[in-house]
Structure formats: C-alpha cells, structure tokens
C-alpha cells in the first residue's frame, strides 16, 4: 500500500483549475519531488494534502485511509508535516520555542497545560523540550536554541522550519521549495539534512522550482504544468522528457 496517494485530485478556484485530475503515488521511504513552473499548482497540492483546502473532486489517502475533508490539525496528527514556501517563524520567540510549537499536536495537556501543572504535565513539558532539542540538533541548530528566531541567518531559519515540522513526529515530510533563496553552501547543507531524514525512515515529498536541485536527491520526480501532471518517473528520464523541457522553457 502506498503511503500517500492522490487519485484524480482536482481543485478549482472560481474559473481556474489549479490542480487538474492529478494522480500521484508515494511509497514509504522515498524522496518524491514535484516540480513545475511558477503557478503550476505545486503549493496547492500541498494545501490539499494538508487539509487547507478540500479538493473539488478526487480522493487523497494516507496509509489507505481517505483524508479528504479532515482538518489540518488532525492531518498533522496522522503523521503529515510540512514547511511553507515563505518562511513562517515566530520571529520574536526563541529557536527552541518555535520548535516546541510544532510538538503541540502531540501534547495531551491541552491549552491550559501551562497554567495548571499537575506532575504529568510537567513530565510532558520536559519530554516536549527534549524532543524539540533533538530536532534542533538534527538540523545542526542545537547550539542556537536560546537565540531569537529572527537573529538566525536565512539558511538556518529555513532549517528551523524543518526542525519544527519534525517535532510533530511525521511519517511524511512535505517541503515547499526548501532551497529557495539559499546560496550554494546552504543548499549543500540542506541536501545533507534531507538525506539524513530519509535515512531515519521518513518519506519526503519535495516541491521545487529549481530542477537541478531535485535531480540529485529524488527517487522519483513528477512534473506539473498548468495544474496537470505531464510526467512522472525517475529523475534522468523526466529530465529528458520533451514535454517537460518545453514546459520549463515556456511554450
């Protein structure tokens, strides 16, 4: 059974078909890329999978269970985490607190956990902190825990977002253009981190505009153009596909 499966998924915004009958199958442990020109519908696919928008038609299944219409919070709890195309950090909070927020969906204490503190809540708080620090170390940010998020260099802010997503203990991690705006050195560090996450047994669903970036790390690459999937396969085959080349050069 595939980990994540999209079956003829469509979403319309008024007259615009942003995602048009897309089929996609992601197997556990793979790095699946989704590429395509700007406006192709890549981020919208993530918004559909994470429950921000319900599809107009089609089904999205996670481990064989339909997740259409589920709320984002519940989808996160099932084991799907994401980062956003534009950085969404709490700039005035510490690096550690930004990650702890990502752990919230696993918390039993509820919103009043911070006020009323029976021993079980204190224990849980400690566990949240430990796990958040592990996620920071995974992203080489362990020594930045007490800094304000806004003081991190850009490449580290992007890795902090990944650390926060990892704090929800996902089985699949959705990364929306994680390398955007990074310099070559920052990109190299990021590639290493993405590979490490996969070695931990996670599945990665990677949206990228930059074709070169995904070719080196992806097991499979799907290509969207005007909402339609025009190619899907191993990176070398997709790279040579004339329809893909035409989409990138602009027909």
The reply to whether 72 sits near ligand ADP by the rule CB under 6 A is: no
Pick between residue 42 and residue 103 the one whose CB is nearest to ligand ADP: 42
Residue from the set 30, 32, 44, 50 that interacts with ligand ADP by CB under 6 A: 44
- Part in contact with Mg ion (CB under 5 A); list of ranges 3-11, 27-35, 85-93, 228-236: 85-93
**CB of residue 172 to ligand ADP, shortest distance in Å:** 18
114-136 b/e (C-beta count within 10 Å ≥ 16 → b): eeeeeeebeebbeebeebbbebb
**CB of residue 229 to ligand ADP, shortest distance in Å:** 12
- Part in contact with ligand ADP (CB under 6 A); list of ranges 36-44, 97-105, 159-167, 230-238: 36-44
CB-nearest residue to Mg ion: 43
**CB of residue 72 to ligand ADP, shortest distance in Å:** 15
**CB of residue 39 to ligand ADP, shortest distance in Å:** 4
**CB of residue 113 to ligand ADP, shortest distance in Å:** 34
Q: Footprint of ligand ADP on this chain (CB under 6 A)?
A: 13, 16, 18, 36, 38-44
Interacting residue ranges for Mg ion, rule: CB under 5 A: 42-43, 85
């Amino acid at each position: 059974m595939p980990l994540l499966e999209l079956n003829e998924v469509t979403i319309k915004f008024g007259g615009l078909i942003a995602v048009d009958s897309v089929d996609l199958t992601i197997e556990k442990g793979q790095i699946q890329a989704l590429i395509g020109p700007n406006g192709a519908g890549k981020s919208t696919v993530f918004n559909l999978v994470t429950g921000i928008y319900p599809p107009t038609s089609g089904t999205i299944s996670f481990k064989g269970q339909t997740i259409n219409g589920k709320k984002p919070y519940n989808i996160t709890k099932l084991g799907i985490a994401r980062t956003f195309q534009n950085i969404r950090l709490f700039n005035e909070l510490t690096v550690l607190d930004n990650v702890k927020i990502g752990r919230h969906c696993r918390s039993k204490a509820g919103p009043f956990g911070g006020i009323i503190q029976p021993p079980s809540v204190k224990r849980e708080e400690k566990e949240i902190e430990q796990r958040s620090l592990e996620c920071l170390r995974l992203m080489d940010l362990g020594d930045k825990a007490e800094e304000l998020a806004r003081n991190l260099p850009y490449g580290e802010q992007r890795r902090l977002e990944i650390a926060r997503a990892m704090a929800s203990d996902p089985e699949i991690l959705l990364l929306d253009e994680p390398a955007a705006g990074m310099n070559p050195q920052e990109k190299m560090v990021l590639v290493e981190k993405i590979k490490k996450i996969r070695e931990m047994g996670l599945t990665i669903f990677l949206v990228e505009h930059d074709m070169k970036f995904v070719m080196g790390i992806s097991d499979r690459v799907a290509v969207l153009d005007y909402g339609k999937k025009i190619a899907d396969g191993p990176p070398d085959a997709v790279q040579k596909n004339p329809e893909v080349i035409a989409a990138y050069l602009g027909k």
